[in-house]
Amino acid sequence: MGSYRLLDLFCGAGGLSLGFERVGFKVVKAIDIDQHAVNTYNCNRGENVAEVLDVSKIDSKFIEQLGEIDGIIGGPPCQGFSTAGQRIIDDDRNKLYREYFRILEQIKPKFFLIENVTGILNFSKGLVKDDIIKRANNLGYSISHETVDTSEYGIPQVRKRVLFVGIKKELYHGDFIFPKGGKAPISIEDAIGDLPSLDKGEDNTTYIHPPRTAYQKYIRDGMIELHNHILSKHSEDTKRTISLVPEGGSIKDISEELRGGRNYNALLRKMDRKRPSLCIDTGHRTYFHYEEKRIPSTREVARLQSFPDSFIFTGPRNDQQKQVGNAVPPILAQIMAEAIKKYFSK
């Protein structure tokens, strides 16, 4: 496969790219419409690999400038397919996977990978899933898909996603085998318990506590200075409510009287330190630290997504949280990259 040259569509902050790069692939161009995410992507590479661009504007001239591309990776925006959303068939976000295949048809790489929420499988009675398979087959690809839970792959988070892998038929030599999970769960405390306390005012720019687990040692990635670990401000009323919610519980576990008469549109939950995290989304405003009266910092949720501490998020803090929530966990990306590399090595 030569130099393993890739195009990353809907790249976000770059979790998918990071995992593939750690295995030896080279992302020659990455595309996203979010300026803050593109800034973070490029900040972590020291060069402007990512570009702010609407995928519908990618034309033959743009593609010619890329040179040879071995693979396309990416996750079309998933909010329209999410079971948490309205799942409207005409949602513009639900049409972006078609742009993915338009570009795939022009480039004709050796393989492609699509990551998305599991809701895409039964969305509109399976219409989108069937269309993805049909389009891949018509373009000359053998395609397989698998639903995975990231907590089974050494990631401290329960996050179910579906992965599609397409192999060009002339290079096909048997079904692509998705890597098996089954790893022991990593708890939230095992992932972030070594970070400085923000409620106690500990120095949040350095590692004042030694790593206590193998994951903490791995995720520090040799860093000395700590980034993105900043305290969020909450009202005293909010902090009081947080303190009343039991660890691993929700706002429903306390009486309406103790809630202070406030109605919460979202279900406020508190982390359970002994379990993997719930799915990290783009908000984090209703998922609170297991011990401190606050939402988790960007660094904490980044760790739960398996981003190394050497990966620095830029932009407004709310947007940093969005970047983390939208990302593909780098460890999962790396595991998939290794499996794809192994497939072609045969």
The catalytic residue positions are: 78
Whole-angstrom distance, CA of residue 113 vs CA of residue 202? 42
Provide the CB-side half-sphere exposure for 56 (13 A, CA). 5
Whole-angstrom distance, CA of residue 75 vs CA of residue 67? 22
Q: Name every residue whose Cβ is closer than 8 Å to that of residue 138 and which is 6 or more positions away in sequence.
A: none
Ranges assigned E (strand) in the chain: 5-9, 26-32, 50-52, 71-74, 111-117, 141-149, 160-168, 269-270, 287-288
Q: How far is CA 181 from the centre of its chain?
A: 17
Comparing CA positions, the residue from 85, 94, 133, 100 lying closest to residue 10 is 100
Whole-angstrom distance, CA of residue 26 vs CA of residue 35? 22
Q: With 0-12 CB in 10 A as exposed, 13-18 as middle and 19+ as buried, what is 64?
A: exposed
Whole-angstrom distance, CA of residue 82 vs CA of residue 123? 9
- The SS3 assignment for 146 reads strand
CA distances from 262 to 55, 142, 146, 268 (A): 43, 53, 42, 12
